[in-house]
Amino acid sequence: MDLYGKDFICTQEWAFEELMAVLDLAAEMKRDRFSERWAGILKHRTFFMFFYNPSVRTRQSFECAATELGGHAQFLEPRAMRLKTAKAAGETVEDAAKVMSRYACGIGIRILEDQVPYYGAGDEMLREYAYWADIPIVNMADDRFHPCQGLADVMGWAEWYGGGPGQPDYGALRGRNFLLTWASGALARSWCSVQEALLIASRFGMNVTVARPEGYDLDPQVYEWTRQNCAAHGATFRTTDDPLEGYRGAHIVYSRNWVTPQAYQDGVFQKQAEIEKAMAYQGWTTTAERMALTDNAIFTHPMPVDRGSEVTDEVASGPRSAIYDIAENRLHVQKAVMALTMGGADL
């Protein structure tokens, strides 16, 4: 299997064996993090990171990943650049991508809702870069997908239901019950992480439940893919507006705030209006009482956690919380993605 040169924009677009190639390498890298085997993969190579939106973990973990592969990640923010955007004159994506292909081994891009005029426009921009660039584009979170988060999630779940850190058992996830629940909070959060979670959970054969208030459904295309993924494994997919029901028998609980499909008006993301809408739904918080309804489920979240709203401290910092392991896995899966798509070295 040759992943060299391949863009990574959404897990759904990669074959299962391709995802497993990444995940297997990631686990090997986690077990032997500073091995000389990885140190030359991007030796003296440059990876560009474009942050249209700021980030803690994504920046830290990608820059670490490049360093640990022997390369260097450049942290680039469009405010300090002269790229053409919807709002400002500047260089075309064609020109920027063609030149960057001469300098770097890959480009990571992060662009979320509030930087684009309509849902999906961020993802389209990544695809425009991918069209013109001769080097791989990696999605560092756009307004639709967050594939590195999805891989980190499933790796963490498989570690918790497998042999622990660095010892994931992906088969152990099949047939388990996965609850994704909308959560209270005033952060008007993106769809990218939760959509990627639906895709990856269903891809690995889990029964998927989405619990959310009426009016909080996600992208119909993602629902459709999730349904297909589940069907291929004989698993189920359902939605519910009952905040409690999905906890019963769950093995994995994922709670997270997100916005409605009506988040844009006149080409502008309505952050304040979305926060006000969300305020009408209190009590969508993952608590120890609710976790007690599950089949000893683990708690998962892509972070940053809005403690007190999305989940209580007791659960987030509790013995069944997988959040730090999953955050750590961002590093390992990204190292593996970069090694396979950008590294010339024989692994």
| 80 lies in the site for a second copy, by CB under 8 A | yes
Among 86, 92, 279, 292, binds a second copy (CB under 8 A): 92
Contact by Cβ (8 Å): 145, 151 = no
> What distance in Å separates the CA atoms of residue 193 and residue 55, rounded to the nearest whole number?
14
For residue 89, give every residue at least 6 positions away whose Cβ sits within 8 Å of its Cβ, in sequence order, or none: none
Judge contact between 260 and 274, C-beta under 8 A. Answer: yes
Q: Nearer to a second copy by C-beta: 260 or 317?
A: 317
Q: Is 87 in the site for a second copy (CB under 8 A)?
A: no
Site for a second copy in 266-305 (CB under 8 A): 303-305
Of residues 16, 31, 32, 43, which one binds a second copy by CB under 8 A? 43
Nearer to a second copy, 16 or 324 (CB): 324
Do the beta carbons of residue 341 and residue 138 sit within 8 Å?
Answer: yes
In the complex with a second copy, the residue whose CB is nearer, 15 or 89, is 89
Scanning residues 302 to 341, which ones bind a second copy (CB under 8 A)? Answer: 303-307, 316-317, 323-324, 327-328, 331
Minimum distance, C-beta of residue 303 to a second copy, in the bound complex (Å): 6
Exposed, middle or buried: residue 164 (CB in 10 Å: 0-12, 13-18, 19+)? Answer: exposed
Contact residue for a second copy among 27, 76, 116, 148 (CB under 8 A): 76
Per the DSSP assignment, residues forming a β-bridge with 181 are 211, 255
Minimum CB distance to a second copy, residue 8 (Å): 20
CB of 71 to a second copy, least distance (A): 8
In the bound state with a second copy, the residue whose beta carbon lies nearer, of 297 and 327, is 327
* Binding residues for a second copy restricted to 231-260, rule: CB under 8 A: none
Residue 142-181 contact track with a second copy, rule CB under 8 A, x = bound: ----------------------------------------
Task: Out of 32, 37, 56, 272, name the contact with a second copy by CB under 8 A.
Answer: 56
Residue 14 CB, nearest approach to a second copy (Å): 25
In angstroms, rounded to a whole number, what is the distance separating the alpha carbons of residues 288 and 286?
7
Smaller CB distance to a second copy: residue 14 or 157? 157
Cα(277)–Cα(275) distance, integer angstroms: 5
Instruction: Judge contact between 67 and 331, C-beta under 8 A.
Output: no
Between 20 and 39, whose beta carbon lies closer to a second copy?
39
What are the residue ranges of helices labelled H in 192-345? Answer: 192-203, 220-232, 271-279, 288-291, 313-316, 323-342
Q: How far is Cα of residue 265 from the mean position of the Cα atoms in its chain?
A: 26
Residues 14-37 as b or e (16 or more Cβ within 10 Å = b): beeebbebbbebbbbbbeeeeeee
Applying CB under 8 A, the span of 101-109, 169-177, 233-241, 259-267 interacting with a second copy comes to: 101-109
Reference 341, options 121, 147, 75; nearest CA is 147
Q: Given the complex with a second copy, which of 86 and 244 has the nearer CB atom? A: 86
CB atoms inside a 10 Å sphere around CB 306: 20
Q: Which of 148, 254, 140 is nearest to 206 (CA)?
A: 254
Provide CB contacts within 8 A for 105, sequence distance 6+: 42, 45, 46, 47, 71, 135, 342, 343
- Kindly state the DSSP code that residue 173 receives in the 8-state scheme: G
Pick the piece of the chain touching a second copy (CB under 8 A) from 57-65, 156-164, 226-234, 287-295. 57-65
User: In this complex, which beta carbon is closest to a second copy, that of residue 211 or of residue 342?
Assistant: 342
Single residue of 48, 178, 237, 284 touching a second copy by CB under 8 A = 48
Task: Confirm or reject binding of residue 196 to a second copy (CB under 8 A).
Answer: no
Residues that bind a second copy (CB under 8 A): 34, 39, 43-46, 48, 51, 54-57, 59-61, 63-64, 67-68, 70-72, 74-77, 79-83, 89-92, 94-96, 98-100, 102-104, 186-187, 303-307, 316-317, 323-324, 327-328, 331
